[in-house]
Amino acid sequence: MFLHRRTPAGSPSTRNSTRARLAAAAVVPALALALTGTTAACSAGGGSTAKADTGAEDTTPVTITFWHGLSSPHEVASIDAVLAKFHQKYPYITVQAVKAQDDDKINQAIRGGTAPDVASSFNANNVGGWCASGAFQDLGPDIAADHVDMTQIPQAVQSYTAYAGKRCTMPWLADTFGLYYNKKLFAAAGITAPPKTMTELADDAKKLTVRNPDGSIKTAGFMPYFGAYEMLTEHLLPSWGGSWLKADGTSNTASDPAFVSALTWQKNLVDWFGADKLAKFKAGMGDEFSAQNAFETGALAMMVDGEWRTAFIKNDKSDVDYGTAPMPVADDKPDLYGSGFVGGNVIGIPRGAKHPAAAWKLVKFLTTDPDAVASFADAIGNVPTTLAALDSPDFTLAKDPNFATFLEVFKNPKTSTTPASPNGGAYLTNFGPFADKWQNGKVPDLKAGLADIDKQNDAALKLSQ
Amino acid sequence: MSTPILPARTFRRRPAPSLLVPPALRAQHRRRRIRVLLFLSPWIVGFGVFLAYPLVMTFWLSFTNSDMISTPHFVGLRNYRYLLHDDPLIWQAVRNTGWLMAVMVPTQVLFALGVAMVTARLKAGAGLFRTVFYLPALAPPVAATVAFVCLFNPSTGPVNRALGLLGVHGPLWFDSPTWSKPALTLLTLWGSGTMMVIFLAALLDVPAELYEAAHLDGAGPLKRFRFVTLPSISPVLLFATVTAVIATLQYFTQAMVASQTANGNIQASPGFPGGSTLTFSQQIYVAGFNQFHMGYACALAVVMFAVAMAFTVVLLRRGSGFDIEEAAK
């Protein structure tokens, strides 16, 4: 009605202009929104990609946001403690920590132009994508300007936190994998030491397995079924010294004999148990991160897992009498014994960060300050990612022999990881269903299957170019 | 108003008699049209921002190598070529989605129709039964799926225990590539209360005289269903089928949650076990949000849109009881 009053019946030209104005009223907001959308989509908020370093002298009070994935109360308290130390050192920087953030949320925020100043992730699979696309800023200039000593970070750790020569993340504690074994069940089966080769592992697994009268599994000596907790191809492959990608980033599954050896070993053990019996047993295993974890309840005598389990066993008040050892290795690769798989948390500065200079100070502090790294690793039971922190007297967990195993594995020069790729580890996603089919006997020709995986991985890689 | 000659465009668009309409009335028409447009403008803005613009952008991005972070580059038909020749998982996703359409949609429609027919005839306790059958539809999909997977857990779930008491060796359900899709179908049947309510309304709308007349003519229950019920409810049947087909094409949440809950591994790749629950829309999600292949994800989305459109058009044209010519008028 107000429109009626504003434009009483006038000449055709008035009429036309009214119509135009009306159309504009309807279209302009849409267009404006659309344009904002386009800008956001194409430049991810248009944040500075070049370093806007204001220098170390700039002490203007600033508040930065920091997203991390930790969520349980004791972990959040540990974060708060280390951030308090940071604030003590840089009183003019206040950190607003946001818990329980995952990679999907980080990607969304970067795409939407609402990225935090600092973001961390539990797994390094996305590092390749983040570096290649520029979603995370290149930290190289800052590292050079501050003369950060990168040699204090082990080589394998350096490799999963950078991609194609671009360091867009720093390692923030690591996860190292090894073998957990139940000492009580070992003694009952007359086994005196943890297995060192894959043949020994299979033999011990058979000795330790107890079945119900109907043939179903009561206690599993080892769980060879892929997808059960941390039993994944990527955690098994280092025992054969296999590598996923060639130096040029193309797929290596068919060319590397390690894949055939590892998968054959695994399938033989699966067949001994019976794939359907393992599937049923797996479905009945309690939640991995709960006190019902099958190893913690004694239903699983051996398993491959990360160093964090030592803290969970303690926190869950499990009475399992256990020991840890490096993962057994292929019979023909004894020199690999002592090494293992390492992966870890990464931290960086997303594109669109509002205070990159202050953000870098936080990243540097969390990842290279020996006290900060050691005390935080101690608090949440992870492996520190700098040599100084590893040897620090503040790092009390090193005195626990079950934890020390993982520190040794971590320091081993042959310890390896999954390589970064620009498509967020699509080569692992492609492999998952294949491994599942393989263990259920649905892959008639292993070599042909692996060649197919190569083709798929390489085609996916081309999509990113 | 002293301009007797209207602009050419207006003249062509308007039917001739409008020239005879007095100017005052014409102004009133115009004002009414403006008012209508004004009231429609929230929808126009919404349509533009949330439908037209994303559709156009999706179509454009499907020809680029966009990762939604760096500037996209035009790559021609590369994404579509990858879809047809190289994507390792897409055909499995297509087969799975096809299975769901071929089995889940008819089963769901028949089940909902069956339940509706039974509850429509109930004399006592009709309200209670209708409520009971409708209730599951209120459960949030994620919660319902998690609960279902736990109920069907092969070693600890009550379903297999009950089957065991009857001497039946229960299958692995969500942990078996053979049984995972039937298990998802059961979940859909359990939650098909909304469709049941729509059928119920249609069934109760069938005039009782028709049944009486058919009865007098000697038609048995089957014939009454075939010649009275079915023709009367066919538009509703068609509506239910079309919406179910579209929903199945976009089947995502339940398959995603079921495979993750059953696998119990936080890094699980969708489709557990063995890719048997990987659907087309999951593949879109994985490509776009996990693997930085947003351009390819857009190509998949375009294909899904085209397929959904084709199915809808074919169903509407084939469907008896819904005259598309009539609808056009």
Query: Do A424 and B292 count as a contact with CB atoms less than 8 A apart?
Result: yes
B56: nearest CA partner in chain A: A34
Q: Which of residues 197-256 of B touch A (CB under 8 A)?
A: none
3 state SS of A411 = helix
* B54 vs A289: CA distance, rounded Å: 40
Query: Do B275 and A227 count as a contact with CB atoms less than 8 A apart?
Result: no
Q: Does B62 touch chain A (CB under 8 A)?
A: no
For residue A347, pLDDT over 90 is answered with yes
Cβ–Cβ < 8 Å for B254, B187: yes
- A345 membership: H or E segment, kind and range: strand A342-348
* B179 vs B188: CA distance, rounded Å: 14
Q: Does A6 touch chain B (CB under 8 A)?
A: no
How close is the nearest chain A Cα to the Cα of B68, in Å?
6
B70: nearest CA partner in chain A: A133
**pLDDT number for residue A24:** 40
Query: Do A287 and B266 count as a contact with CB atoms less than 8 A apart?
Result: no
**pLDDT number for residue A14:** 35
3 state SS of A167 = coil
Q: Which chain A residues contact residue B170 at CB under 8 A?
A: none
Q: Does B288 touch chain A (CB under 8 A)?
A: no
How close is the nearest chain B Cα to the Cα of A238, in Å?
19
Where b means 16+ CB within 10 Å and e means fewer, A227-240 reads bbbbbbbbbbbbbb
- A324 membership: H or E segment, kind and range: strand A322-325
Question: How distant is the alpha carbon of residue A64 from its chain centre?
Answer: 24
**pLDDT number for residue B7:** 46
Query: Do B86 and A456 count as a contact with CB atoms less than 8 A apart?
Result: yes
- A29 membership: H or E segment, kind and range: helix A12-43
> pLDDT above 70 covers what percent of chain A?
88
B31: nearest CA partner in chain A: A4
User: Tokens representing B318?
Assistant: 């084939």
User: Tokens representing A83?
Assistant: 């951030």
A9: nearest CA partner in chain B: B27
Highest-pLDDT range among B213-217, B259-263, B272-276 = B213-217
Mean residue pLDDT across chain B? 86
Query: Do B71 and A9 count as a contact with CB atoms less than 8 A apart?
Result: no
Query: Do A288 and B267 count as a contact with CB atoms less than 8 A apart?
Result: no
> Quick one: average pLDDT of A436-452?
93
Q: Give the per-residue SS3 of chain B.
A: CCCCCCCHHHHHHCCHHHHHCCHHHHHHHHHHHHHHHHHHHHHHHHHHHHHHHHHHHHHHHCCECCCCCCCCCECCCHHHHHHHHHCCCHHHHHHHHHHHHHHHHHHHHHHHHHHHHHHHHCCCCHHHHHHHHHHHHHCCHHHHHHHHHHHCCCCCCHHHHHHHHCCCCCCCHHHCCCCHHHHHHHHHHHCCHHHHHHHHHHHHHCCHHHHHHHHHCCCCHHHHHHHHHHHHHHHHHHHHHHHHHHHHHCCCHHHHHHHHHHHCCCCCCCCCCCCCCCCHHHHHHHHHHHCCCHHHHHHHHHHHHHHHHHHHHHHHHHCCCCCHHHHHC
**pLDDT number for residue B116:** 93
- A463 membership: H or E segment, kind and range: helix A446-463
Which of B35, B68, B154 lies closest to A111 in CB terms?
A: B68
A423: nearest CA partner in chain B: B291
Predicted model pTM:
0.80
Cβ–Cβ < 8 Å for A396, A377: no
Q: Which of residues 446-465 of A touch B (CB under 8 A)?
A: 452-453, 455-456, 459-460, 462-465
Q: Which chain A residues contact residue B156 at CB under 8 A?
A: 283-284
Query: Do B68 and A44 count as a contact with CB atoms less than 8 A apart?
Result: yes
* A158 vs A169: CA distance, rounded Å: 9
Distances (CA, A) of A435 to A22, A221, A229: 60, 21, 15
- What type of residue is B179? W
Q: What is the pLDDT of residues A299-337, one digit of tens each?
A: 999 999 999 899 889 888 999 999 999 999 999 999 999
| Strand-pair category, A118-121 with A93-98 | unpaired
> Quick one: average pLDDT of B271-280?
88
Which of A135, A436, A463 lies closest to B69 in CB terms?
A: A135
For residue B3, pLDDT over 50 is answered with no
Q: Does A359 touch chain B (CB under 8 A)?
A: no
For residue A149, pLDDT over 50 is answered with yes
Which pLDDT band holds residue A12 (cuts at 50, 70, 90)? very low
* A131 vs A431: CA distance, rounded Å: 23
Distances (CA, A) of A76 to A98, A290, A380, B234: 10, 18, 9, 58
Which pLDDT band holds residue A71 (cuts at 50, 70, 90)? confident
Any idea which residue has 């082990």 for tokens? A154
Q: Which chain B residues contact residue A351 at CB under 8 A?
A: 69
User: Tokens representing A254?
Assistant: 């068919």
Q: Which chain B residues contact residue A436 at CB under 8 A?
A: 177, 272-275
* B191 vs B177: CA distance, rounded Å: 22
Q: Which chain B residues contact residue A285 at CB under 8 A?
A: 264
Q: What is the pLDDT of residues A217-241, one digit of tens each?
A: 999 999 999 989 999 999 999 999 9
A435: nearest CA partner in chain B: B274
Where b means 16+ CB within 10 Å and e means fewer, A101-131 reads bebeebbebbbebebbbbbbbbbbbbbbbbb
End-to-end CA distance of chain B: 36
Mean residue pLDDT across chain A? 86
3 state SS of A116 = coil
Which of B67, B175, B289 lies closest to A104 in CB terms?
A: B289
Provide long-range contacts, Cβ within 8 A and 24+ apart, for A387-394. Answer: A387/A152, A387/A153, A387/A154, A388/A152, A394/A370
How close is the nearest chain A Cα to the Cα of B190, in Å?
23
Q: Which chain B residues contact residue A107 at CB under 8 A?
A: 68-69, 289
DSSP, res A51: -
Q: Which residues contact B72 (CB under 8 A, 6 or more apart)?
A: A42, B61, B64, B65, B66, B295
**pLDDT number for residue B262:** 86
**pLDDT number for residue A54:** 46
Sign of the four-CA dihedral A370, A376, A377, A379: positive
User: Tokens representing B54?
Assistant: 């994303």
Query: Do A423 and B70 count as a contact with CB atoms less than 8 A apart?
Result: no
Q: What is the pLDDT of residues A372-424, one digit of tens each?
A: 999 999 988 899 999 889 888 889 999 999 999 999 999 898 999 888 888 88
For residue B317, pLDDT over 50 is answered with yes
Which of A1, A15, A123 lies closest to B30 in CB terms?
A: A15
A442: nearest CA partner in chain B: B274
Q: Which chain A residues contact residue B271 at CB under 8 A?
A: 432-433
Where b means 16+ CB within 10 Å and e means fewer, B211-222 reads eeebeeeebeee
How close is the nearest chain A Cα to the Cα of B53, in Å?
7
> Quick one: average pLDDT of A128-133?
90
* A448 vs A451: CA distance, rounded Å: 5
- Adjacent-strand bridge partners of A339: A337
Query: Do A464 and B65 count as a contact with CB atoms less than 8 A apart?
Result: yes
* B62 vs B6: CA distance, rounded Å: 45
More confident residue, A371 or B9: A371
At CA A322, angle to CA A320 and CA A325, rounded to 5? Answer: 155
For residue A13, pLDDT over 50 is answered with no
**pLDDT number for residue B70:** 83
Query: Do A429 and B30 count as a contact with CB atoms less than 8 A apart?
Result: no
Q: Is B68 left (phi over 0), alpha (psi -120 to 50) or beta?
A: left
B27: nearest CA partner in chain A: A9
Picking from A105, A463, A464 by the largest number of B CB atoms within 10 A of its own CB, the best residue to mutate is A463
Q: What is the pLDDT of residues B180-195, one digit of tens each?
A: 999 999 999 999 999 9
Q: Give the per-residue SS3 of A252-305.
A: CCCCCHHHHHHHHHHHHHHHHHCHHHHHHHHHHCCCCCCCCCHHHHCCEEEEEE
Query: Do A44 and B69 count as a contact with CB atoms less than 8 A apart?
Result: yes
Query: Do B82 and A437 count as a contact with CB atoms less than 8 A apart?
Result: no
Q: What is the ipTM of this complex?
A: 0.76
- What type of residue is A388? A
Query: Do B30 and A129 count as a contact with CB atoms less than 8 A apart?
Result: no
Q: Does A251 touch chain B (CB under 8 A)?
A: no
